[in-house]
């Protein structure tokens, strides 16, 4: 693979991982800025093609992480991200009526967490990275990542249970309960 023409190597890399880099960019900077982040990330990858490891995704996301931090003024990125987090709750898919409230509550709870907590959780749950790969993205050890993930998960659960406590009067329904009437 290392001997393939640079163009072919890069094109393969780009098409294989564009979606993942885009998803990460949206979760860190909002959809408005995501295209810029993706473009700059792959430009770095092109310029440093020989540095890209055999399993490129953690490296690409690490670059995207740096790009997001360095490319935008923080207030611009925060504004875009805040809009994105709000949109997630509003746009929660109403296909499956039962779980839409739960999913919306999950996203709302997520929005209330710190950016670092959100990052460890979404790298795991939405990007599907192993702890080892996620640790590489963040530049920490795998052991540290496990600890951070554990803590972030607890905080998310806390936020969810706080929301449920407030909302206790909402009746829980399930299809079985409906038909069992």
Partner 1 sequence: MSHRDTLAALADARPRSLDPSERPADPALIMAYPRRESATRVARRPVRRLVLAGALPAVALAATGAILLNNTSGPGAPVVQPATSSPVPVDVPTGAGSLLLVAAERSESAPVTAGRYWVVRTEHGDGARRVQDELWLAAVPGLPSVGYVRSADGSWTSRPMRGHTADNNFLLAGSPRSARELAALPTDPAKLTEKLLTWYADTGGVEQRDEFLFNSGAAIVLDLPVSPQVRAAAYRMLAAMPGVTSLGRVADRLGRPGVAVAVSRQGDFGKAQTRLIVDPTTGRALAQESWVAGNPASFTAVITARWSDDGLPEASALR
Point out which residues bind partner 1 (CB under 8 A).
6-7, 10-11, 14-15, 18-19, 22-23, 26-27, 31-36, 38-40, 42-44, 46-50, 63, 66-67, 70-73, 75-76, 79-80, 83-84, 87-88, 91-93, 99, 102-103, 106-107, 110, 121-122, 124-126, 150, 153, 156-157, 160
Tokens of 127: 């990007």
Q: Residue 43 in contact with residue 74, Cβ under 8 Å?
A: no
139 in Cβ contact with 132 (< 8 Å): no
Nearer to partner 1, 87 or 143 (CB): 87
Instruction: Rank residues 74 and 176 by Cβ distance to partner 1 and give the closer one.
Output: 74
Which of 126, 123, 114, 125 lies closest to 152 in space, CA to CA?
114
Distance of CA 174 to the CA centre of its chain: 30
CB of 5 to partner 1, least distance (A): 9
Nearer to partner 1, 119 or 180 (CB): 119
Backbone angles phi, psi at 124, to 5 degrees: -80, -55
Please report how close the Cβ of residue 54 comes to partner 1 at its closest, in angstroms: 19
Distance of closest approach, residue 143 Cβ to partner 1, in angstroms: 17
Contact 67, 40 (CB under 8 A): yes
Q: Which is nearer to partner 1, 70 or 181 (CB)?
A: 70
- Distance in angstroms (rounded) separating the CA atoms of residues 10 and 4: 10
The distance of closest approach from Cβ of residue 181 to partner 1 in the complex, given in angstroms and rounded to an integer, is 27
Q: Which residues contact 28 (CB under 8 A, 6 or more apart)?
A: 37, 64, 65, 68, 77, 81, 119
DSSP at 172: P
In the complex, the smallest distance separating the C-beta of residue 156 from partner 1, rounded to whole angstroms, is 6
Q: Is 98 or 177 the residue whose CB approaches partner 1 more closely?
A: 98
Given the complex with partner 1, which of 28 and 179 has the nearer CB atom?
A: 28
């Amino acid at each position: 693979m290392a001997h393939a023409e640079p163009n072919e190597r890069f094109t393969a890399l780009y098409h294989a991982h564009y979606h993942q880099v885009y998803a990460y960019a949206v979760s860190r900077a909002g959809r408005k800025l995501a295209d810029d982040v993706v473009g700059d990330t792959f430009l770095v990858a092109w310029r440093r093609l020989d540095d890209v490891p055999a399993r490129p995704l953690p490296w690409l996301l690490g670059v995207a992480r740096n790009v997001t931090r360095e490319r935008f003024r923080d207030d611009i990125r925060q504004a875009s991200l805040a809009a994105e987090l709000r949109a997630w709750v509003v746009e929660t898919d109403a296909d499956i009526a039962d779980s839409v409230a739960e999913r919306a509550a999950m996203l709302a709870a997520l929005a209330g967490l710190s950016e670092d907590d959100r990052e460890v959780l979404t790298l795991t749950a939405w990007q599907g990275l192993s702890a080892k790969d996620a640790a590489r993205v963040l530049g920490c050890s795998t052991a540290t990542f496990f600890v951070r993930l554990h803590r972030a998960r607890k905080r998310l659960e806390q936020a969810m249970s706080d929301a449920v406590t407030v909302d206790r009067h909402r009746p829980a329904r399930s299809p079985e309960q409906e038909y069992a009437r």
